[in-house]
Each structure stands twice: as structure tokens, then as C-alpha cells.
Amino acid sequence: MPTPDDDIGHPANTTYIISIHDDLMKNWSPYAVTYDPLKAGSIDGTDTEPHDKAITRAINARYDPPRDLKSDPSRTLFVGKIGPDITKNDLTELFMTVGDVRSVKVIVDIVTGYSRGYAFVEMNNDDDARRAVRRLNDKIINGCKIFVDWECSRTMKGWKPRRLGGGFGGKKESGQLRFGGKDRPFKKPIFISTKKL
């Protein structure tokens, strides 16, 4: 029977070393550059198997961004976490504090006509758009702390919206968090290897 003094891999003689592999970390970023539903479903972007049905649905889904939109995707911002009483005028007024607003569209449920909790704002130029992302994210309007970021559907390769199991963010309670976005960036992966000393 092995004893702690035996040199045969007993836990007393083994040191576990945490190392981060340089080759995998060279291009690491807390933010997704292209959209991969499998990576977005993982806190560190390293999952190799889908852990929920929505990720599988997003992987298999085909999404074509709307082609008939007249707004410029490089100046269009996604505004999330807006309350049901926040109107187009409220958002226009807020965004005009940082620059010229070209258009505002609050997304509503097609059946009920109620706000779905998000909107898109097109700013007049790139500088105004960048300023809005910097200054208005986490701003409180009508008691709601809003989320402001760039639109992804026409600017991010591989994008899949939330309704198809993709997107970023989400609620912990739903069990379908998505990572790699500004609201929930990836955490740095840690690779564990064992090495005998």
C-alpha cells in the first residue's frame, strides 16, 4: 500500500500548477469580435459542447439581418433595459444631450403594442455615436438603468439575436446567460495542468 512518502503520484507528492497557455491567450479579448453562439454561452468562451437547448438552436439557426433598414449601422446604437413607459421622445431627448439624433425606434410587441424593453437610436455622425456609448450607458431614465452599446445585427459577423438563442447578456434566473458583450464580458480562461515536482 502506498504511503505519503512513496514517489508514485500520491497527492502529498504532487503539486497542481495553474497555467495559462500563451498560444490560446495571444488573441484573447473579453469581448467577442465575431459571434459564436457556443462561445457566447460560456463564461470564458472555451465551451466545446452546448449546455442548453437555446445554444443548439442558435448554432443551427440562420439569421439574415434586415436589408431594408435605412439607418447607418456604424452609427446605430442598441438601447436595452428600457422600461415600458419610456417613449421615443424620452430617448430622443436623452440622446440629444450628447449629439444630434437622426432616428429612434422603440421595438414593440406586434400583438400587444407594448414596448419589448429595447430600442435603436441612430446618431447623426460617428463622433456623436461614440460619445453616446461612453456617456449614456448605465444612465437612469424614468427609474431604469439603461444599457447602450453598438448594434450587432449588421456589424458583427455570425450574429444571432436573442430570439434565436443568441445575443449577449441575459438574466441569471433564466439560466441562459450570454457572454462576450459589453454587459457580460468573457472571463479569462484558466487552464489547469498537473506537473510532478
Domain boundaries, the chain: 15-63+161-197, 66-157
pLDDT given at position 63: 92
- CA atoms of 160 and 64, how far apart (whole Å): 9
pLDDT given at position 67: 87
**Torsion angle of the four alpha carbons 121, 126, 127, 131, in this order, in degrees rounded to the nearest 10:** 30
pLDDT given at position 195: 58
Mean pLDDT of 161-187: 86
Closest to 96 in 3D by CA, of 125, 123, 119: 123
Under a CB-based contact definition with an 8 Å cutoff, are residues 12 and 4 in contact? yes
173 pLDDT higher than 70: yes
Under a CB-based contact definition with an 8 Å cutoff, are residues 100 and 68 in contact? no
CATH number of 66-157: 3.40.630.30, 3.30.70.2500, 3.40.1190.20, 3.30.70.330? 3.30.70.330
Mean pLDDT of 80-104: 97
pLDDT tens-place string over residues 138-147:
999 999 999 9
**Which range has the worst mean pLDDT, 19-23, 126-130, 136-140?**
19-23
The C-alpha angle 139, 97, 118, rounded to 5 degrees, equals 45
